[in-house]
Amino acid sequence: MTIETVSKARACGGTQGVYTHASSATGTPMTFSVYVPPHDEGETLPVVWYLSGLTCTHANVTDKGDYRRACAELGLILVAPDTSPRGDGVADDPAYDMGQGAGFYVDATQAPWTPHFRMWTYVTEELPALVGAHFPADMTRQSIMGHSMGGHGALTIGLTFADRFRAMSAFAPIVAPGQVPWGEKALGGYLGDDPAAWRAHDAVALIEDGARVPALLVDQGDADQFLADQLQPQRLADACRAAGIDLTLRLQPGYDHSYYFIATFMPDHLRWHAERLR
Amino acid sequence: MTIETVSKARACGGTQGVYTHASSATGTPMTFSVYVPPHDEGETLPVVWYLSGLTCTHANVTDKGDYRRACAELGLILVAPDTSPRGDGVADDPAYDMGQGAGFYVDATQAPWTPHFRMWTYVTEELPALVGAHFPADMTRQSIMGHSMGGHGALTIGLTFADRFRAMSAFAPIVAPGQVPWGEKALGGYLGDDPAAWRAHDAVALIEDGARVPALLVDQGDADQFLADQLQPQRLADACRAAGIDLTLRLQPGYDHSYYFIATFMPDHLRWHAERLR
């Protein structure tokens, strides 16, 4: 369980680091970033997981930022994993929405995606153990958020491990991958043709099947080019209403699917998480 | 004086745009970004110029952000030009610190840099006219800031047009290019071997030669890898003390030369500008 430091820089009084390690989950080198805010010696801090969307690596959110100032003020560690295994020996697809950069936070059961595409195990088991071992993290206080495919990851992981995460939120998430083109392609490719196997990786299906959390925060731009075809937040609203989950779904006028949208509402989300991580 | 919109997105309640136009100053297409904060119809807003450093385009600051929230709160437009002309017909150098991406905010007088390398005219004449014509900008209220080579640009332009800019500040600026390797190479290459021709493009020399502004704000990381060889802020401190210029020079412990450093102190600088732009 060793990690190698790729880079480290002072930022907003804390430290923004980028790290690599040999992942046993994916069988590849994996890169992730961790922001550690200013803190007292020996102090441990709550951990926010940020899962990125299609085409991203750890670097998109790390470079585009707009979370460090809020994390510094609120005393939050933020961890940003990659979105898939990568490298020459790893299967890929010419499309942007399958293969490298598009791991969908599942453990693939289908060729050619086995054995490397195991992002579920990576994000829920291996990387938490590394973070707990190498950073001043209070692993009893975790929360999770993400964007688009990463919003899907945050919701499905948060719903599955409801005892682990005190808060979860998403920016423009894919809420029902089993019912939209991105998800049908990815879940079909990684998990096989039987939609029954997809339900554990579909936030709306998980809620329909009994998963419960006290509250969810979702922001969605109403000028998002993927809103109608791929995102369909109304499906989450309907499922939460039927299940008695307190969903705050905010349709943000004029915002698109870009990081400008994420950055705008990132401090709101971090404050919402911080209140629940106290 | 037409401009073409490359992209536009809602961000922090305002609009982040990227634009191109055929520049008469450089004889090339030029790309720049403008953030316009939320404002009332018909209202005009002060303009902050942000000049980027070596290797950058308009995109570095635009993507890495951490200025939009403060600009939205303070009611500031932020303009980010490119750092040089670019393209197949434009002279270049294999080194990162000369040619494309390294215009040094001067009008070159030497081959092969003539006729395209005219960033002084571009940033001080052509682009301000465009901004004044196409955006809700109050051109009687301008200020200027920049990083590294862009800090050099901000200081030299601000000192030269002291009546135009109500505030100027810099992150890790090259304060005395005539006396450090980056500047000797660039000013020698663009302006010729006679150091007398460099003094109009050297902040310390400009102050020694009589340029005056009421105040300057400079942040400098003490872990900056270029501090001792290229930046040498003490030269600016000495010149300002001799000239009676109120310089606030803050050595920031642990910070390097990266955008993490800029982002950390960007809101401070914007507030400092906003106070002087009221």
Tens of pLDDT along B6-31?
999 999 999 999 999 999 999 999 99
Mean of pLDDT over chain B: 98
Residue range B107-133: mean pLDDT, rounded: 98
Tell me the chain A residues in contact with residue B255 when contact means C-beta distances shorter than 8 Å. Answer: 9-10
Residue range B123-140: mean pLDDT, rounded: 98
Q: Distance of CA A195 to CAs A186, A205, A207, Å?
A: 12, 11, 16
pLDDT > 70: percent of chain A: 100
Task: Judge: A221–B255 Cβ closer than 8 Å, yes or no.
Answer: no
| Domains of chain A by residue range | 4-277
Domain range A4-277, CATH class: alpha beta
The amino acid that residue B136 corresponds to is: P
| 3-state class (DSSP) for residue A248 | strand
- ω into B94 cis (within 30 of 0): no
Paired sense of beta strands A4-11 and A14-22, if any: antiparallel
Q: What is the pLDDT of residues A4-46, one digit of tens each?
A: 999 999 999 999 999 999 999 999 999 999 999 999 999 999 9
Question: Closest Cα of chain A to B61: distance in Å?
Answer: 9
Question: Closest Cα of chain B to A211: distance in Å?
Answer: 34
Q: Which of B64, B69, B264 sits opposite A64 (nearest CB)?
A: B64
Chains A, B: CB pairs < 8 Å: 76
Tell which residue, A28, A106, A31, has the closest CA to residue A63. A31
Tell me the chain A residues in contact with residue B256 when contact means C-beta distances shorter than 8 Å. Answer: 9-10
Question: Closest Cα of chain B to A182: distance in Å?
Answer: 24
Instruction: Spell out which chain B residues touch chain A, with contact meaning CB-CB distance below 8 angstroms.
Output: 9-13, 16, 63-66, 68-69, 221, 223, 254-256, 258-261, 263-264, 267
| N residues, chain A | 278
Computed from CA positions of residues B83, B89, B91, B92, in that sequence, does the dihedral angle turn out positive or negative? Answer: positive
First-to-final CA distance of chain A? 29
C-alpha–C-alpha distance, residues B204 and B176, integer Å: 5
Catalogue the active-site residues of A.
148, 224, 257
Mutate to test the interface with A, among B260, B261, B268 (most CBs of A within 10 A): B260
**DSSP at A102:** B
Mutate to test the interface with B, among A6, A10, A69, A250 (most CBs of B within 10 A): A10
Question: Closest Cα of chain A to B158: distance in Å?
Answer: 28
Where does the pLDDT of residue B1 fall: very low under 50, low under 70, confident under 90, or very high at 90 and above? confident
Complex ipTM value: 0.94
The structure tokens 């993507």 sit at B63
Task: Judge: B65–A64 Cβ closer than 8 Å, yes or no.
Answer: yes
Task: Judge: A65–B66 Cβ closer than 8 Å, yes or no.
Answer: yes
Catalogue the active-site residues of B.
148, 224, 257
Q: What is the pLDDT of residues B142-185, one digit of tens each?
A: 999 999 999 999 999 999 999 999 999 999 999 999 999 999 99
- For the record, the structure tokens of A226 come out as 């993927």
Mean of pLDDT over chain A: 98
Where does the pLDDT of residue A1 fall: very low under 50, low under 70, confident under 90, or very high at 90 and above? confident
